[in-house]
Structure 1
Amino acid sequence: MSVIDDAIVWLNDPLNWTNPDGIFARLGEHLWISAAAVALGCAVAWPLGVWMGHVGRGGPAVVTVTNLSRAVPTVALLTIFPLTAIGFGAPAIILALSLFAIPPLLANAYLGVREVDPEVRDAGRGMGLSAWQLLRKVELPLAVPYLANGFRVAAVQVVATATLAAYVNGGGLGMIISKGFGLGLASGGGQVLAGGALVALLCLAVEGILALVERALLPKSLRRVKHRPPASAADALPARS
């Protein structure tokens, strides 16, 4: 049989879904690790990005952080943290993955607040709004589409990257692929292909669901003009604040 046939046979085996280390168990681990990493990234990046956008400072720093994140080897970062005092396990993996989630979250939060029309800000100040009220009632609501866009990008990126956690015994769907390689491609090639297909389908599902949520959060007035935050907010950031 071909590798594709082997993958179909492997996926059609009920035991591969329900075993303690089967697809359902690994999927639960994958989603938990990814969700925790994105949540940690949001807790760090959103307040910082919103504040920097509100005061209009830190644009070059955001660009630098975003560009540096593209140069950091994924496997290296996932390997370094387990070798520290944190040790092996979910905490080290979550911390490493959160560092990949922070750049898109930070860039979109900063850009979302900076993209608010200055005339809207002036109108808010003219109504007597304080700086905090202006941020809470004017800037944040208008920045929601950018925040949602950054969340979607970060979530898909983390879900895809979490597959590599298997190299440090971090769990997730990557364990299926890792075990397939351990069997050798001659006998485990189908399992490797099946694991890769599951990760790809999960990323597509996360992308589709969050894209629908992002569209729902977009104000109707902006939908009519087909407004959409840029796919990479970092590319739209100014060189200077």
Structure 2
Amino acid sequence: MNVLNFINDFFSDSANWHGTTGIPHRLLEHVEYSLLALLISAVIGLPIGLFAGHAGRGGYALAAFSTAARALPSFGLLVLMTVWLGEIGTTPAMIPLVALAVAPILVTSYEAIRSVDPAPVDAARGMGMSSAAVLFQVEIPAALPLILSGLRSAAIQVVSTATIAAYIGLGGLGRYIIDGLAQHTYGKVVGGATLVAGLAIVTIGVFYLVERLAVSPGVRRGR
């Protein structure tokens, strides 16, 4: 049986569309895990990256931290946190996802601010604007496309990796992959992987729409 047949069998089975094990419920769980991890990562990464970029300091430290965070094996960190915390729940699942997502947010937000044309920044300072006003009214609007690209990269990585939450008994689309492998039901494995890939593509589309709405036309034309 080829992949297309597996996909057809999985999605045409009405049992996969109902109840707590159905596609809508698992998809909602996966989105919740992903949004929570992305929100925590943004709360951590954006302020540090933006203010470090504004001050022009800490770039090497942020790059070193991000490289180390990317090198961490998400699955291994998940198992380690589960054993260390002694619990099976959302917390040990969030730690590797946040570690994965915070790295691109940190680096991209820093580089986004550093790449802003210094001319309008100098003009704003010459007009007497405070440092905070320069950051929020001049630098961030100009750097917003790159900032969003960092968030988009983090979101795609989280959506793709959140499947590991199923290994410690949580839900999400990874449930199909883990259960399918355990039961040798490869239609579930292929169906779950297809759903994750589709959700990643939808995530790209969502960030494209956000950029179209949030970034001023002048900044988009300048890019």
More displaced stretch, 90-99 vs 43-52 = 90-99
1:138 partnered with 2:138: yes
1-side partners of 2:136 and 2:165: how far apart?
Answer: 38
Please report how far the alpha carbon of residue 3 of structure 1 lies from its aligned counterpart in structure 2 after TM superposition: 5.2
Cα deviation per residue 1:188-233 (whole Å; 9 max; x = unaligned)?
11111111111111111111221232233333223334x2xxxxxx
2-side partners of 1:28 and 1:153: how far apart?
Answer: 21
1:147 matched to which residue of 2? Answer: 147
Percent of paired sites with the same residue: 37
Q: Which runs of 5+ in 2 are unaligned?
A: none
1:162 partnered with 2:162: yes
Aligned residues of 1:163 and 1:174 also touching (Cα < 8 A) = yes
2-side partners of 1:5 and 1:121: how far apart?
Answer: 57
Please report how far the alpha carbon of residue 46 of structure 1 lies from its aligned counterpart in structure 2 after TM superposition: 0.5
Aligned residues of 1:38 and 1:98 also touching (Cα < 8 A) = yes
Please report how far the alpha carbon of residue 30 of structure 1 lies from its aligned counterpart in structure 2 after TM superposition: 0.4
2:81 matched to which residue of 1? Answer: 81
1:22 matched to which residue of 2? Answer: 22
Aligned residues of 2:177 and 2:189 also touching (Cα < 8 A) = yes
Please report how far the alpha carbon of residue 2 of structure 1 lies from its aligned counterpart in structure 2 after TM superposition: 4.5
Q: Which amino acid aligns with 1:202?
A: L
What are the within-5 Å matches in structure 2 for residues 51-70 of structure 1?
Answer: 51-70=51-70
2-side partners of 1:86 and 1:101: how far apart?
Answer: 24
1-side partners of 2:56 and 2:86: how far apart?
Answer: 36
Number of equivalent positions: 223
Please report how far the alpha carbon of residue 74 of structure 1 lies from its aligned counterpart in structure 2 after TM superposition: 1.6
2-side partners of 1:151 and 1:88: how far apart?
Answer: 28
What are the within-5 Å matches in structure 2 for residues 1-241 of structure 1?
Answer: 1-2=1-2, 4-85=4-85, 87-184=87-184, 188-225=185-222, 227=223
Cα deviation per residue 1:8-66 (whole Å; 9 max; x = unaligned)?
12211122111211211111110000000000000000011111011100111121122
Distance 1:119 1:168, change over 3 A: same
Higher relative contact order (CA 8 A, sep 6+): 1
TM-score w.r.t. length of structure 1 = 0.87
Distance 1:122 1:194, change over 3 A: same
1:238 matched to which residue of 2? Answer: none
Please report how far the alpha carbon of residue 86 of structure 1 lies from its aligned counterpart in structure 2 after TM superposition: 6.3
Cα deviation per residue 1:86-133 (whole Å; 9 max; x = unaligned)?
621112212321111101111111111111222222111110111122
TM-score w.r.t. length of structure 2 = 0.93
Aligned residues of 1:69 and 1:100 also touching (Cα < 8 A) = yes
Please report how far the alpha carbon of residue 5 of structure 1 lies from its aligned counterpart in structure 2 after TM superposition: 2.0
